[in-house]
Chain A
Amino acid sequence: MSYLAELLASGLAVGAVYGLIAMSFAIIYKSTGLLNFSQGEMGMIIAYVAWSISTATDGNPFIVALGSIVFAVIFALAVERIAIRPMMNEPILSRIMVTIGLSVIFRASVILFWDALPHGMGMPAGEVLVSLGGVQVRAAQIAVIVVLFFAIAGIWAFFRYSRFGIAMRAVASDDSTAQLMGVNSGKVQMTAWGAAAVMSGTAGVLFAIGAELSPSLYALGLKAFPATILGGLDSIIGSAFGGIIIGITENLVGGYISSGLKEVAGFVIIVLILMIRPYGLFGEKRIERL
């Protein structure tokens, strides 16, 4: 029983990381119709900045958290304004290629401005082992699960009750009409990108605390992508659950079957989902069928 509990705990911890990044994918897609292929890389850059702050302030978690969030917002706004907004009316392929170009630039920048070596995050506060019902987890892993929970709750409330949330859905549905109705679509996009960066940045930082900081951190984005598909590209909360499901599945497969299938399991899930239920578990039935 403890074995299963352990697997579930690890699955939940890594699933929360996937979930946060998946939510970032979804929130940008939901409000702009764009798939941001550089989400993983953005999370990585925020994690590296957090590391720099951490080494400068001796690992004070509050300063690091505050600093990272501020940087994440500024970073996302800059990227959105400079690279994404001008391409607003171009065909979708061009817009996606811009994000791919950005991902290449970000990856090179990390090694350019920092280095190519793996590092510990230097935040002992996050690495503390906490015993929860017989299972030992790191503080950072608990933190990421808590953050995911609050993110889900916050997003749900936001979209349900606030005017801005409805405005976001309007911009995603039809940009020009929304503008005609007085929605500031620029502000909507900025908010979406800012929120996405904060979420994936948090996921990146907490994952790096638990594991390690290395220039391959961007691969988390690729792993989180199936989660978004599973949950539904336009369902933010669905993506969060998609992430958890994939994290747990990965660990169960690794724990009971074999390790070799762990990596590819996510992609197999994508293919299966697209064949059976393309709009994801929680998405809306808006996909054209021919």
Chain B
Amino acid sequence: MAVTGTPAPTPAPVDDDRPRTIVAPVAFGDRVFRGLLRGAGLAVLAMTASILVFLVLQALTAFKAVGIRFFTTPTWFISTHQFGIAAILPLGVVIAVIALIIAVPVGVATALFISEYAPARMRRALISMIDLMAAIPSIIVALFGLYFVMPRILGFDSWLSHHLGFIPVFSFGLQNYASNYASATFIAGVVVSVMVIPILTSLSRQVFSQAPQGEREAAYALGATRWGMIRMVVLPYGRAGVIGASMLGLGRALGETIAVSFILTPVFAFGYHVLESGGNSVTFMIATHLLEAGPTEISALMAAGLVLFAMTLVVNTLAAIIISRSRSGATASAD
């Protein structure tokens, strides 16, 4: 029998509110309905699988041409079959790591500020603002990075290399011209961090705000200051959520294309001097080379994309598992 219109009245609440197990024969219509929904779910799985399949198929030519050397060759000479991702993949990872080194402390601090310190009146506005910023397209970040950050950060780069150059990462082997600091891995990392901060803040804030009120009050009752309460209750409660959020941020940073291609000029040798001009990443190679590529290079780019896809899939899946296993993260969502 079908019910139409508005939902019917619920039965009066019972004292014993455990859900009853409903045993009912599944009707034909329901079987079709469930089949359809299951089909939709499987279609999403199939979509992911077909991305993998198509990338693998397209990448075969490149793998046949260079074999395992694809992972050990830093150069990108297509015609002589000397191409690989030994430089571009780690260079891209360095960008993502720089972005995270900046974004995790800033994001967590901002999340704590919003959830614990901001006046209750401002909180709602701040939350919507951060959520909105997480939805700002990366091309806007790229514009900001190329035309605002880059001209202004060169002096700071020079300052870092002069005064902190004894730290190997900040050492600078080139001449001290502004152009030698431009388009560097470090700048790309800073710009990507501007993109990752809102995502990380939004996720961490959701987790922090769920720290149980009872435990907070217990901490206060034991004489904790607000910082003491945060250290004892909020941070331990949110730890797994923050780790998961950071990994999602890492996935985003690894896959970021546009901001990176606005900033970088390509190099094909791995170096850890992040202040020196030039950098690379798989996404950057695909965005700049795919449209002018011949068949072998297309295949090589597909292979590089496949490696990146596999890597981000692993990182994101781990993040999803960490979040869903944690006490705090079961209801936090990525968007």
Do these two chains interact?
no
